[in-house]
Structure 1
């Protein structure tokens, strides 16, 4: 597997770990959590839910969409495994950041009775599997209507996972 195919996943891992670190280091008022009703003590938990479920899943779906239409040999299982490992590494890296910070502020790894990170992780893994399966079905339907080369030509070269697609 070439570096060009894995680089977007590496960047995604690093960006989301950095986002977690920044949200842990900034005070509540800088994150805008003090102004929201009901977010006083558990604001970071809800913020992390939005970032690490919806945001991460959205970014990974865009990456998979680009990979589907800009590679010659697109294998569903390989894309699914790369996505699931990316999710696991983001959560593992965020957990290491949490452990190193020694923070006692409520967040996705430290809450009232149970760590919400487990629920978030299970949710995003299930959602990713369902979303990628749906995306693969839509890909088959879309490729029946439009040729792969026409879609590939519309993707900028710096976003392609492989520079050229066989016709």
Structure 2
């Protein structure tokens, strides 16, 4: 093994890590960052030692949850495109984007604190999200479903605007309506 390289996780360790991340994102989004790590371990169905072996600090867990949510959002694109027409894939992805934003807002204070230490949890997340959105919009353009004068940067700004005004769980219906309005505005009109 190359010095400094980490061994791949065993299948059971990988499953435990995923269970911890899923439980953490649910609890952080629902209750904020003050939730006890032991509660996250219990929700995940693992022991506290397993949680701390994977994430020695709260900050490490928050950063991992954030990075995992970005990866899930971006990794969903191929499956969404394979499942149906590109515009429907884009529509489904915008809903996943709102879920991502909701999870991110639940952790925003901790993410800012981590960033203030010089360890940016954001890394390449903006570029990854832009690339995912570009792939979806390119597929929609190629299928003749959306206008060509609106690009991923414009769409990203619209999604961020909707997220700022309607990211809360109590505002989900409003967010859905605004997403539909935005996507309807992208469609090619005869």
TM-score of the aligned structures, taking structure 2 as reference length: 0.37
- Could you state the TM-score of these two structures normalised by the residue count of structure 1? 0.41
